[in-house]
Amino acid sequence: MSKRICILNGSPRLTGNTKELIHSFTRGAESVGHEVICFDLQTMNIHGCLGCCKGGKDESFPCVQHDDMAKIYPVYRTADVIVLASPMYYWGISGQLKSAFDRLFAVAELNPDYQNPKKECVLLMAAEGNTENNFSPVKAFYEGLVSHLNWKNMGIIYAGGNMEIGDILKQPYQLESAEQLGKSI
Ligand SMILES: Cc1cc2nc3c(=O)[nH]c(=O)nc-3n(C[C@H](O)[C@H](O)[C@H](O)COP(=O)(O)O)c2cc1C
């Protein structure tokens, strides 16, 4: 079955290691017939959540803030799979991705009891460190998020050992893993 995949790219480096993971994942997903839409959050005007809890009144634009989330909401709502793609920043996801993700709360506000839409999801992450210990805070965050949203994790790529742009090209198995993950969705 063809799926609709929405990638939220939290990397500010548009030719960086995260983007290479995204390219490989997309190649794999498209090769088996999935539709992939990627948002480069760094290029978009997206503000942080205001915590006003006044969203959810208008299906076509669920948040009170009117910015580029307007492009993401309709894709998010109809997507089968959400991909969180990010560099590791201070043992977490980037601010760009966190800001966009927080704003998805407005979609939950459309539903009784703030029910989140059910999704499958994937994590793609590039980082300098390459140990289990380096990735453990992100693992805890992602697993907690997926569990609380009642989403289904379809796979994770922890691509460690990458600092400079292009470093990941020297670790082709990481990109092959991302491509295989895209195919397996
Ligand atoms: C502000 C900042 C914080 C970072 N924090 C971490 C970190 O906590 N752990 C780590 O392993 N790498 C860290 N890094 C390195 C990046 O995760 C790494 O360079 C990654 O490959 C960047 O992905 P990109 O090329 O998509 O931007 C940090 C880099 C920056 C700029």
Q: Domain 9-184 belongs to what architecture?
A: 3-Layer(aba) Sandwich (3.40)
Question: Is the separation of the CB atoms in 83 and 122 below 8 Å?
Answer: yes
- The model's pTM is 0.98
Please name the residue that has the structure tokens 């800001």.
Answer: 99
User: Distance, CA 30 to ligand 1 centroid (Å)?
Assistant: 28
Amino acid at 82: I
User: Distance, CA 51 to ligand 1 centroid (Å)?
Assistant: 28
Show the ligand 1 pocket: residues with CB < 6 angstroms.
11, 13, 16-18, 87-91, 126-129, 134, 162-163, 165
Q: Which H, E and C letters describe 95-116, residue by residue?
A: HHHHHHHHHCHHHHCCCHHHCC
Interval 18-59: pLDDT, tens: 999 999 999 999 999 999 999 999 999 999 999 999 999 998
User: Distance, CA 52 to ligand 1 centroid (Å)?
Assistant: 31
